[in-house]
Homo-oligomer: A and B are copies of this chain.
Amino acid sequence: MSMSEAISRLRPLTEGLLPDTLGIEFLEASPDRVSAALTVRPALCTSGGVLHGGAIMAFADTMGAAGTVLNLPANARTTTIESKTNFLGAAAAGSRVIGECTPVHRGRTTMVWQTQVRSESGKLLALVTQTQLVLPG
């Protein structure tokens, strides 16, 4: 699967849905790694003009689901069953954050993915670990 095929395969996860509403843009996608970017518009912020924690969690959840989809066997689907975030820094309105999501565990029943969300200068802003259940289609 080429990267453009992988990104195409993720379109049903985003088109007209929350990831589009937030403005999440996949940068790279393969079964081993998903990266994405998000511009910190005021409409995604909390008070103080910094990216809302909820937007960060939605950003990571989208990437973890995407990574799982790229590893699913035929006729299977996935749902997030749990997600844990540590917030480590703030992203100011006008800046852009980059997420990198890699697999911790890829089993037949569950997959666990971890996402690092960083500022463009590389500062770690959040660490997200999530479990995806693999379900028959």
Contacts and interface: CB of A to CB of B under 8 A. Distances in A.
Q: Which of A52, A107, A133 has the most CB of B within 10 A?
A: A52
B127 A47 contact: no
B80 A83 contact: no
B18 A21 contact: no
B21 A46 contact: no
Copies of this protein in the complex: 4
Contacts of A59: 54
Contacts of A129: 84, 86, 127, 129
A84 B83 contact: yes
Contacts of A35: none
Interface string A19-31: 1111000000000
Given A16-B43, A19-B52, A54-B58, 11 more contacts: A17-B43, A52-B58, A52-B62, A53-B83, A81-B87, A82-B131, A84-B85, A104-B124, A105-B124, A110-B133, A114-B127
7 contacts: A17-B44, A46-B65, A48-B77, A53-B61, A54-B58, A81-B86, A88-B112
Interface of A: 12-13, 16-22, 42-48, 52-55, 57-62, 65, 77, 79-88, 90, 104-105, 107, 109-110, 112, 114, 124, 127, 129, 131, 133
